[in-house]
Amino acid sequence: MARMKFLCDAERCIECNGCVTACKNENEVPWGVNRRRVVTINDGIVGAEKSISVACMHCSDAPCMAVCPVDCFYRTDEGVVLHDKDLCIGCGYCFYACPFGAPQFPQAGAFGLRGKMDKCTFCAGGPEKDLSQEEFSKYGSNRLAQGKLPACAEMCSTKALLGGDGDVIADIYRQRVLKRGKGSEVWGWGTAYGKPDQKAAPAGAKS
Amino acid sequence: MTARNFVFAGAALLLALGLGACGEREQVIVYKQGKYQGKPDTKPWENDSAANPYPGSRWSKGDKTSWESAVRTRNLAQNEYTRAE
Q: List chain A residues with pLDDT less than 50.
A: none
Q: Name residues 54-73 of chain B within 8 A of A (Cβ).
A: 54-59, 64, 67-68, 70-72
Q: How far apart are CA A30 and CA A32, in angstroms?
A: 6
Question: Which fold would CATH assign to domain A4-193?
Answer: Alpha-Beta Plaits (3.30.70)
Using an 8 Å CB-CB cutoff, list chain B residues near A88: none
Q: ipTM above 0.85? A: no
Q: What is the pLDDT of residue A202?
A: 59
Q: What is the pLDDT of residue A115?
A: 83
Domain residues of chain A, as ranges?
4-193
Q: Name residues 24-53 of chain B within 8 A of A (Cβ).
A: 27-29, 31, 36-44, 46-47, 49, 52
Q: What is the pLDDT of residue A172?
A: 92
User: Do residues B62 and B45 make contact, with C-beta atoms less than 8 angstroms apart?
Assistant: yes
Distance, in angstroms, between B72 CA and closest chain A CA? Answer: 7
| Contact at CB, B78 and A159, closer than 8 angstroms | yes
Q: Write down the pTM of the prediction.
A: 0.80
Q: pLDDT, tens digit, for every residue of B8-40? A: 999 999 888 888 777 776 655 565 665 777 788
Residues written for chain A: 207
Helix B64-76, helix A166-180: angle, nearest 10: 20
Q: pLDDT, tens digit, for every residue of A74-130? A: 999 899 999 999 889 889 999 999 999 999 998 866 666 778 999 999 999 999 999
Q: What is the pLDDT of residue A138?
A: 93
User: What percent of chain B has a predicted confidence (pLDDT) above 90?
Assistant: 34
